[in-house]
Amino acid sequence: MKTKVLMVCLGNICRSPLAEGILQSKVDFDTVLVDSAGTAGYHVGNPPDPRSVAVAQKYGLDISAQKCRRFSRTDFDEFDFIYVMDRNNFSDIASLARNQQEAEKIKLLLSEVNVGIHEVPDPYHGDEDGFEDVYQMIDLACEAIAKKLN
Ligand code: 4NP
């Protein structure tokens, strides 16, 4: 059975689509499945933000076919690990957990690395540089996760 990892942010168009694409590219496709979701439903059905698509493309990843979806409580049944980008995502998801075992699946993505900050900042209202920074920190965290999973 595959290990299943879910990446979660607010909109599921900027940060978590990058995290999905980056981690999936670093793990064995036959044994690890990576997906992403948002805590909010503003962009459901949409592709990732063009700025996330562009920065992924710069590093050789195509995330353009991803489709935004909202996190659902049933994701706790499906996924083994749930990585959130910031503390707001953490509390939003934790409030949906039905028991301790589900709550324990949730981790801040940057808890996997030592980069001096604990949250992946929301780049949505900023410029392209913000997307580059976010890419780099997500990449470091996914490298650490992939080492554990592979
Ligand atoms: P994300 O960024 O959580 O990294 O996907 C955002 C995308 C959209 C919005 C906020 C954050 N929004 O307010 O529409």
> 11 vs 81, 91, 143, CA distance in Å?
19, 15, 23
Best mutation site among 10, 12, 92 for ligand 1 pocket (most ligand atoms within 8 Å of CB): 10
Q: Is 135 part of a structural domain of the chain?
A: yes
Cα 97 to averaged position of ligand 1 atoms, centre (Å): 22
Q: Is residue 106 exposed (0-12), middle (13-18) or buried (19+ Cβ within 10 Å)?
A: buried
Cα 67 to averaged position of ligand 1 atoms, centre (Å): 14
Q: Is 1 part of a structural domain of the chain?
A: no
Q: Is 102 part of a structural domain of the chain?
A: yes
Average pLDDT over residues 89-96: 98
- Helix, strand, coil shares of the chain, percent, nearest 5, are 40, 15, 45
* Catalytic annotation, residues: 9, 15, 122
Nearest protein CA to atom 8 of ligand 1, as residue: 11
| Amino acid 60: pLDDT | 98
Domain that holds residue 113: 7-14+25-149
Q: Is 2 part of a structural domain of the chain?
A: no
| CATH number reported for the structural domain that contains residue 52 in this entry | 3.40.50.2300
Entry pTM: 0.98
Q: Which atom of ligand 1 is nearest to the CA of 13?
A: 5
Q: Which atom of ligand 1 is nearest to the CA of 17?
A: 5
| Amino acid 150: pLDDT | 86
Q: What is the pLDDT of residues 96-132, one digit of tens each?
A: 999 999 999 999 999 999 999 999 999 999 999 999 9
Q: What is the pLDDT of residues 22-78, one digit of tens each?
A: 999 999 999 999 999 999 999 999 999 999 999 999 999 999 999 999 999 999 999
**pLDDT band (50, 70, 90) for residue 14:** very high
Q: Which atom of ligand 1 is nearest to the CA of 120?
A: 4
Nearest protein CA to atom 13 of ligand 1, as residue: 11
Residues 36 and 19 sit within 8 Å (Cβ to Cβ): yes
